[in-house]
Amino acid sequence: MKFLEKLSRFISTYMAVFVILVAAIALFQPWTFKWVAPHIALMLGIVMFGMGMTLRVQDFKMVLQRPKDVAVGAIAQFTIMPGLAWILATAFDLPADLAAGVIFVGTCPGGTSSNVMTYLARGDVALSVSMTMTTTILAPIVTPLLTWWLAGAWVDIPLSAMMVSIVQVVIVPIAAGLLLNSFFGAQVQKAVKLLPLVSVIAIVLIVGGVVSVSSARIMETGLLIMAVVMCHNLFGYALGFVLAQSLGMNMAKTKAISIEVGMQNSGLATSLALLHFGAAAAIPGAIFSVWHNISGSIAANILSHRMRNKHDLAAENEAEAQANPGVR
């Protein structure tokens, strides 16, 4: 068990390296990961189930205790990233399938990696977790509607089918994990330390599967999509930061909102795009999965060492105490 826990920590620490390695193999040797493509929705469901196993009913109370902060974060998530996606797809004159894929990334909820990056950045972890939960719960309604509104000019959006897909691969697994943790908490906590290992393997395989079935198109448009994805992610960090500061939030909250806005649930974007629009539309999500883990680590490192004063240090300590109530 201890070996698996060490392996889990090692793989989580170097997740970006494994994602890049698998993506490269899948790009040049597509046959190695083509078998994954039909099972991408299942693998995303496993990741979401793991997320649910880390949640407690008490976590939802945080949303009610800090409604203003969570509302600001959720609104920023569902306005900044979708808006940026549409602007970039239009400005770069992307083909219809790739434009839809970029917009899928923008309209999806925040990713669980943002919670880890917020912790590393010494940000408000409780706010980050609350934002991820809130946007994920809203996703079955908000994500399809935003996608229909913004991407409808490029492709036909199967609104009801998308809603059902999100409920199946996100809401149901999270609810199942939450119930399992509620009724069998002691046993679940023993397995939680291994969840990063399972999640990273699933995410790496998802990226490999998408890249393998889209290798020819990536060779053709890879640099263009990489540029769009990088702009999308980096502008998301920047605008989230500026918005939080303009509203007078302390630095701990600002870091959480900046990282949460910039990092998306690209696994969901990849799964939805592949399911409803084909392999090419899933390329932006797969590339985003690679890039945001790299940029998130860099952003967390920068934010953890800069822009902190006495007021912010006190706020960070308070946020950490709320996130870890049992630690003294």
CATH number where 166 lies: 1.20.1530.20
Report whether pLDDT(323) > 60.
no
3-state secondary structure of 152: coil
pLDDT tens digit sequence for 186-199: 777 777 777 777 88
Whether residue 227 is contained in a domain is answered as: yes
Whether residue 275 is contained in a domain is answered as: yes
Q: Quick one: average pLDDT of 213-242? A: 91
Highest mean pLDDT among 228-242, 273-287, 288-302, 307-321: 228-242
pLDDT given for residue 328 in this prediction: 42
3-state secondary structure of 244: helix
Q: Quick one: average pLDDT of 288-292? A: 87
More confidently predicted of 11 and 176 = 176
Residue corresponding to tokens 């493509």: 37
Quote the strand ranges of the chain, DSSP E: none
More confidently predicted of 84 and 181 = 84
Phi, psi values for residue 263, rounded to 5°? -105, 120
Burial 311-320 (b: 16+ CB within 10 A, else e): ebeebbeebb
pLDDT given for residue 294 in this prediction: 85
pLDDT tens digit sequence for 143-156: 999 999 999 888 88
Task: Provide the 10 A C-beta neighbour count for residue 280.
Answer: 24
pLDDT given for residue 32 in this prediction: 93
CB proximity list for 98: less than 8 A, separation 6 or greater: 89, 221, 225, 280, 281, 283, 284
CA of 184: how far to CAs of 178, 181, 224, 318, in Å? 10, 5, 48, 30
303: its two tokens = 């934010």
Q: Quick one: average pLDDT of 286-297? A: 86
pLDDT given for residue 327 in this prediction: 46
CA of 100: how far to CAs of 180, 260, 278, in Å? 36, 22, 11
**d(Cα 55, Cα 198) in Å, to the nearest integer?**
17
Whether residue 103 is contained in a domain is answered as: yes
The pTM score is 0.84
**d(Cα 158, Cα 143) in Å, to the nearest integer?**
12
pLDDT tens digit sequence for 170-181: 899 888 988 888
**d(Cα 118, Cα 304) in Å, to the nearest integer?**
9
Q: Quick one: average pLDDT of 222-234? A: 93
127, 257 in Cβ contact below 8 A? yes
In the chain, % of residues over pLDDT 90: 36
Structural domains counted in the chain: 1
pLDDT given for residue 33 in this prediction: 92
Q: Quick one: average pLDDT of 102-128? A: 87
Whether residue 189 is contained in a domain is answered as: yes
pLDDT given for residue 309 in this prediction: 47
More confidently predicted of 327 and 81 = 81
Q: Quick one: average pLDDT of 157-161? A: 89
Whether residue 79 is contained in a domain is answered as: yes
Work out the pLDDT band at 58, boundaries 50, 70, 90: confident
Q: Name which of 319, 324, 301, 320 is nearest 121 in CA terms.
A: 301
Find how far residue 295's CA is from the centre of its chain: 13
Whether residue 328 is contained in a domain is answered as: no
Structural domain of 120: 2-323
Q: Quick one: average pLDDT of 159-180? A: 90
Whether residue 167 is contained in a domain is answered as: yes
Whether residue 180 is contained in a domain is answered as: yes
CB proximity list for 263: less than 8 A, separation 6 or greater: 110, 111, 113, 114, 117, 233, 236, 292, 296
